[in-house]
């Protein structure tokens, strides 16, 4: 059974008492009650992820983000890198991942609006904040319907993420970044990691990337509280 179908089954087959509120709806209600705090924390996490990944200046929350190149090397103060098995993810992270995978399994890019709208702040997609990401993905996908983007999301989330302690909450500061290998130098991957590289992206992109020192494909980041922060790839200068 595929990852997407497995997690779809997980959500749909779990019985709920009559009149009970689904966990994810409770989460949404909580987020709406904490709008000011969520906005501040969300902005801080996006900024931290941007800086840790060496993407230059962090994106503006009111204007088009400035995606600089990702050649900046990690410093000695960078957080220790840990690989997190899917089964060990915090429940809020699993729920957000499940919601994205349900959209992937549907084949309808519109279904991504649900996990996007769970956030108080829209995730960083590398496009102007006043631009509809669904329309953007339809226009940029080779199939014209956004299914290429759904496939990319499914491939990323089928792998394990890296667990980075870069969130603003001192007691729960983990951010999970997919795929794990995006945090490693592409030209120093092991043979098994190179197989994963070719699974995640087109072969021509993988072949070019494994000769360099920087990740140029998509990354996806979800914080430990289930907030979806980023789905984009860095803008790399020639």
Q: Yes or no: say if 227 and 216 are a contact pair by the CB < 8 Å rule.
A: no
Beta-carbon contacts of 135 under 8 Å, excluding residues fewer than 6 positions away, are none
Predicted pLDDT of residue 105: 97
For residue range 144-201, what is the model confidence (pLDDT) as tens digits? 999 999 999 999 999 999 999 887 666 778 999 999 999 999 999 999 999 999 999 9
Residue with tokens 């997190």: 84
pLDDT at 4: 39
Residue 44 or 232, more confident:
232
Backbone angles phi, psi at 213, to 5 degrees: -115, 5
What's CA 48's distance to the chain center, in Å?
Answer: 14
Average pLDDT on 90-106 reads 97
**Percent of the chain scored above 90 by pLDDT?**
52
Q: Which pLDDT score is estimated for 72?
A: 39
C-alpha to C-alpha distance for 127 and 118, rounded to whole angstroms? 19
CA 131-137-143 angle, to 5 degrees, is: 150
pLDDT of residue 66: 31
pLDDT band, very low/low/confident/very high, at 115 (cuts 50, 70, 90): very high
Q: In terms of Cα–Cα distance, which of 141, 148, 146, 136 is closest to 111?
A: 146
Predicted local distance difference test score (pLDDT) of residue 10 = 39
DSSP letter at 124 equals B
Residue ranges per structural domain of the chain: 3-10+23-72+80-178+215-232
Q: Which pLDDT tens digit goes with each residue over 185-197?
A: 999 999 999 999 9
pTM over 0.85: no
Write down the pLDDT at residue 26.
Answer: 46
CB 231 within 8 A of CB 220: yes
Rg for the chain, CA atoms, rounded: 17
Q: Is the pLDDT of residue 14 over 50?
A: no
**What's the pLDDT score for residue 236?**
58
Handedness of CA 125, 57, 38, 61 (dihedral sign): negative
Q: Give the lowest-confidence range in 42-51, 74-83, 175-184, 216-225.
A: 42-51
* C-beta of residue 178 within 8 angstroms of C-beta of residue 221: yes
Of residues 96, 49, 75, 81, the one with CA closest to residue 181:
81
What is the rounded average pLDDT of the residues 207-211?
88
Position 235 scores a pLDDT of: 66
User: What contacts 157, CB < 8 A, 6 or more positions away?
Assistant: 3, 97, 100, 101, 104, 178, 220
């Amino acid at each position: 059974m595929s990852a997407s179908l497995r997690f779809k089954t997980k959500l749909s087959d779990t019985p709920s008492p009559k009149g009970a509120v689904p966990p994810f709806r409770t989460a949404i209600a909580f987020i709406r009650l904490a709008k000011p705090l969520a906005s501040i924390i969300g902005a801080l996490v996006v900024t931290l992820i941007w800086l840790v990944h060496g993407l230059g200046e962090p994106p503006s929350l009111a204007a088009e983000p400035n995606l600089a190149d990702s050649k900046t090397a990690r410093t000695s103060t960078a957080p220790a890198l840990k690989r997190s098995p899917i089964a060990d993810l915090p429940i809020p992270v699993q729920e957000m991942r499940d919601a994205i995978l349900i959209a992937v399994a549907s084949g309808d890019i519109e279904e991504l609006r649900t996990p996007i709208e769970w956030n108080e702040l829209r995730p960083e997609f590398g496009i102007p904040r006043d631009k509809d990401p669904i329309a953007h993905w339809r226009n940029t996908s080779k199939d014209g319907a956004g299914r290429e983007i759904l496939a990319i999301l499914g491939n990323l989330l089928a792998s394990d993420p890296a667990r980075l302690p870069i969130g603003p909450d001192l007691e729960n500061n983990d951010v999970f970044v997919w795929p794990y290998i995006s945090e490693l130098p592409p030209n120093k991957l092991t043979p098994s990691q190179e197989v994963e590289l070719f699974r995640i992206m087109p072969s021509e992109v993988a072949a070019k990337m494994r000769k360099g020192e920087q990740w140029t494909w998509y990354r996806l980041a979800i914080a430990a509280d289930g907030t979806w922060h980023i789905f984009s790839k860095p803008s790399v200068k020639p």
